Amino acid sequence: MTAEHRMLDHRNIAILLFDDVEELDFGGPWEVFAYLRAQRPELCDVYTVSERGGEVRCAKGLRVIADHSFESAPKPDVLVVPGGHGRRREVNNPRTINFIRAGGGRAEVTASVCTGAFLLEKAGLLNGRKATTYWAAMDELRALGTVRVVEGRWVEDGNVITAAGVSAGIDMSLYLVGRFWGPEVARFVQKGIEYFPAPPYQDTVNS
């Protein structure tokens, strides 16, 4: 890394968790930012947040321990909101929605992955904005009538970024690393986590 990157701004990155959250929705961004933190600790901290802290059971059975509750979490500069089956419950959880709304009002960037876009919408952060979500949920998001739904691996509109389904959160997170700390740092992280997708099979799910 070059000397020009040594005095860049530090950012707190909070990743929201809730029961039945999709594992890779948060695991992808976690890997990107946690690798950066491990290699360049002066650039960021990354931590998980759930309503009460403690154990969260994910959509496919993985159990994780959230670092903070809503009350104990440090102020985020970046808030990442994943999706999963649990988002259908959490859109009706006023504590979760208020946390997202408050965090989105203070954060430099609020981001969603997959169907986490529905939580951002419920918090009022997508009103009139362009946004994307998981391919199978795009019509559902469009039907709400508040969002300009578009296709894209990730979509940026002001200080809100939405990513498409599941693995798209990795791409979005690498984009954010490049936006905050420059393309050289993003390439360093991409190489470090060896993220160069070359799937052995292709389908036509989005064609």
What CATH number does the domain containing 119 carry? 3.40.50.880
Residue 166 lies in a domain: yes
User: What is the Cα–Cα distance from 154 to 95, expressed in whole angstroms?
Assistant: 27
What is residue 6's predicted lDDT score, i.e. its pLDDT? 42
| Count of other CB atoms within 10 angstroms of residue 59 | 18
Residue 207 lies in a domain: no
Residue 6 lies in a domain: no
Residue 96 lies in a domain: yes
Residue 107 lies in a domain: yes
129 three-class SS: coil
Look up 58 and say whether it is catalytic: no
Q: Which domain holds residue 161?
A: 11-191
pLDDT tens digit at each of 207 positions of the chain: 444 444 458 999 999 999 999 999 999 999 999 999 999 999 999 999 999 999 999 999 999 999 999 999 999 999 999 999 999 999 999 999 999 999 988 999 999 999 999 999 999 999 999 999 999 999 999 999 999 999 999 999 999 999 999 999 999 999 999 999 999 999 999 999 999 998 888 776 554
Q: Pick the catalytic residue: 15, 114, 120, 170?
A: 114
What is residue 1's predicted lDDT score, i.e. its pLDDT? 42
Inter-residue contact 109 to 172 (CB < 8 Å): no
User: What is the Cα–Cα distance from 18 to 139, expressed in whole angstroms?
Assistant: 24
Residue 206 lies in a domain: no
What is residue 8's predicted lDDT score, i.e. its pLDDT? 58
Residue 204 lies in a domain: no
**DSSP label at residue 68:** B
Number of domains in the chain: 1
**Long-range pairs for 91-96 at CB < 8 Å and ≥24 separation?**
91/118, 91/119, 91/122, 93/18, 93/51, 95/51, 95/70, 96/16, 96/18, 96/51
What is residue 4's predicted lDDT score, i.e. its pLDDT? 45
Residue 156 lies in a domain: yes
